[in-house]
Each structure stands twice: as C-alpha cells, then as structure tokens.
Amino acid sequence: MKILVTGGAGFIGSNFIFHMREKHPAYELVCLDKLTYAGNLETLAPVMEEPNFRFIRADIADREAVYSIFAAEQPDVVVNFAAESHVDRSIENPAVFLETNVMGTQVLLDACRKYGIGRYHQVSTDEVYGDLPLDRPDLFFTEQTPLHTSSPYSASKAAADLLCSAYQRTYNMPITISRCSNNYGPYQFPEKLIPLMIANALADKPLPVYGEGLNVRDWLYVEDHCAAIDLILERGQVGQVYNIGGHNEMKNIDIVRRILAILGKPESLITYVTDRKGHDMRYAIDPSFIHRELGWLPETRFDEGIQKTVQWYLDNRAWWERIVDGEYQGYYERMYANR
C-alpha cells in the first residue's frame, strides 16, 4: 500500500504521517508539499530517513510536476491535506486560496483519473457549512446541511468539495470527503487561535481576542481527526461525506482563559481587538453518522488535549520560536498593528 499525502509538512498532514507510521508501519508514505510559509520540513525530521518514507517538494497546482510524480510513484491512495488554511490570510489575499485549494484539487483529481487510484480522500472542513446562530444550541451541521460559505477560505474549500463530488459521479471515481471541526495539538502553526495565544502568553504579549470573544468553535484533538481519516480510508463508502467532530463547543474567550490558567499568566493580557470581517459565529458538528457507520469516537477529552498541547509548545520552543521570528513577523505586524 502506497499513500500519497499532500500537505504533509503542515499541521494535520504531519500528524497524519506520524499516525500512519505507528498504525501501519508497512505502508509506504510519500509526502508531496510545496513548503509554503505553513509547511515545515523540520517537523518531518523523525521520518525523513526511513526507507518507506519519501518527501517531494512540489505544488499541487503544478500539473506537469504532479503528473510526473504520479507516473513515477503510482500511489494506491491519495489523501489531500494541501491547502491554504488560514481564514484571516484569505481575507487579505483570496487569490492563492483559489489557486491551491480549487485548482490544486482539480489537478490532483485529474492525475487520479489519468493514472488510476484506489481511493482519493479530500480533507475538508466544517466551515463549508457556514455558521450557526449562537441562540440555537439545538442546531448542528450534518452531512445534509447545505453548503453556505462565509470567507474566501471556506468558499475555496467548498468549491473543491463540489469538484470532488462531480468527479466521483461523472467519472465514477473512488472519492471520499471528510469535514472536520477545528483541530488543535502539536505542530499547529502559531497564527491559529490556540498556538498563537500560547506563544503570546509565554512572551507576556497581549492576547488579541476578536470582537467580544463569544464566537464558538468545536475543538477536536488532531490525533482523533487522523484516526477518523485512517478509518475512512479503510472502511469508508465511496461517494460519501463524513463529518468529524467531538461535541466540544467552546467560546473563544473561554479557550483563551483556559490557556492563561494553565500557564499561570494574568487575564490582564487579554486584549479585545476589531472583529474579523464576516466572522462566523458558531460551528458545531453532528458526528453521529461516522459513529454509526464506522464506529469512530474521539478519544482525547479537551481537558487532557489542551494540557498536552500547552506542554508540547513548552517542550518544543525551538520549533515555533523560529517561525515566530521569521516571515511570520511581517504578517503579525500587518494583521494586528492598529487593529
């Protein structure tokens, strides 16, 4: 079994590679990644020298490069994590989101069609469903919820999902899609809420909370997401969408307070800043389908997962401090100065 993992030098893709190494040591894994600002080869250092792992630097939107990789590698399965993934960046500059998330997905689908594939799995997001109101806690996203996007990021992910469904139906291709809620855990780039707040708190810098901090996200430990994808590859039904989430809804402000408490830092670091444009209010997944069909359940409770995550950032300062010192500096200035 040979799996091509695109975007494997990013947060979830790298965790997926480590998960698959552990659970299926005989599988061959090929990681294809462009190494954008969000991709970090250092993350993959523990597997780089292994005989059944290979890293290839390439852009999923580069048709020629992708075709030659498929011709040479002949993967049995493709799992597509490669994406521009940050909503705030998509508000700043949508074009690269369309290029990678839409055109890149199309190139991968075409390559699968041309070279043949056992399974193509698209890693999507609950953000394709738009948001839910705060005053309707009875509502959840199911696989039947209509797509209704808010940001250029989510619009590009929804477009990719629709292309996947179209290729599945039109060309009868073996495609599955998963839509997961917000992930947290090791190796998450410190522009996303949880690692950003950890990094700022450790530096005694202000913690920029958008609006009033009342927006709700449904947090899942990254390992649980990886286990769900593994299960979908093994037993998922072609043509099916699987929602992944663990019923762990929390307000942003409560997450920030929890991080401060774990680190023993004062709440006076919290700074309310101008809200994100078009800010989605609430995400909440109904995971009953994947539970019923595949028996998946999350294993890590939030209390445990957030402790482990904070500890990981404490133990791996070199990994994120290099990032915070690099290109990210300019982004942080643009995004947060005068906000």
What positions carry a catalytic annotation?
126-127, 153
Identify what 39 binds: ligand NAD, ligand TYD, none; CB under 5 to 8 Å per kind. Answer: ligand NAD
* Closer to ligand TYD by Cβ: residue 110 or 275: 275
Instruction: Return the number of the residue (56 or 272) whose C-beta is nearest ligand NAD.
Output: 56
Residue 177's binding partner among ligand NAD, ligand TYD, none (Cβ under 5 to 8 angstroms by kind) is none
Nearer to ligand NAD, 35 or 324 (CB): 35
Cα gap 181→284, rounded to integer Å? 7
Instruction: Find the binder of ligand TYD among 192, 258, 265, 282 (CB under 6 A).
Output: 192
Nearest approach in angstroms of CB 37 to ligand NAD is 8
- C-beta of 85: minimal distance to ligand NAD in Å? 4
CA distance 9 to 311: 21
Q: Which does 209 bind (CB under 5 to 8 A by kind): ligand TYD, ligand NAD, none?
A: ligand TYD
Residues whose CB falls within 8 Å of the CB of residue 4, separated by 6 or more in sequence, listed in order: 30, 32, 69, 70, 73, 75, 77, 78, 79
Q: How far is CA 111 from CA 4, 103, 175, 210, 317, in A?
A: 12, 12, 13, 41, 39
Our finding on whether 252 is near ligand TYD (CB under 6 A) is: yes
Q: Which of 12, 193, 241, 270 binds ligand NAD (CB under 6 A)?
A: 12
Interaction of residue 105 with ligand TYD, rule CB under 6 A: no
- Residue 296 CB, shortest distance to ligand NAD, in Å, is 15
The reply on whether position 182 binds ligand NAD by CB under 6 A is yes
Amino acid identity at 292: R
Q: What is the DSSP letter of 267?
A: G
Token pair for residue 86?
């940050």
* Other Cβ atoms within 10 Å of 169 Cβ, number: 11
Separation between Cα atoms, residue 229 and residue 235, nearest integer Å: 10
Measured from each CB, the residue nearest to ligand NAD is 10
Rounded CA gap, 99 and 106, in Å? 10
Instruction: State which of residues 85, 149, 200, 309 lies at the interface with ligand NAD (CB under 6 A).
Output: 85
| 73 contacts 52 by C-beta, under 8 angstroms | no
Q: What's the CA gap between 158 and 165, in Å, rounded?
A: 11
Interface with ligand TYD, residue 124, by CB under 6 A: no
Packing angle between helix 193-202 and helix 317-325, nearest 10 degrees?
A: 90
- Tell whether residue 19 is a contact of ligand TYD (CB under 6 A): no
Is residue 124 within 8 A of residue 157, CB to CB? The reply is yes
Instruction: Report how far residue 160's alpha carbon sits from residue 162's, in angstroms, rounded to the nearest whole number.
Output: 5
Q: Please give the residues from 196 up to 235 whose contact with ligand TYD meets the rule CB under 6 A.
A: 196, 208-210, 215, 217
The binder of 252, among ligand TYD, ligand NAD, none, by C-beta within 5 to 8 A per type, is ligand TYD
Tally of CB atoms within 10 A around 255: 21
Residues near ligand NAD, by CB under 6 A:
6-7, 9-13, 33-36, 38-39, 59-61, 81-85, 100, 104, 123, 125, 157, 180, 182-183, 189
Chain contacts with ligand TYD (rule: CB under 6 A): 87, 182, 192-193, 196, 208-210, 215, 217, 252, 276
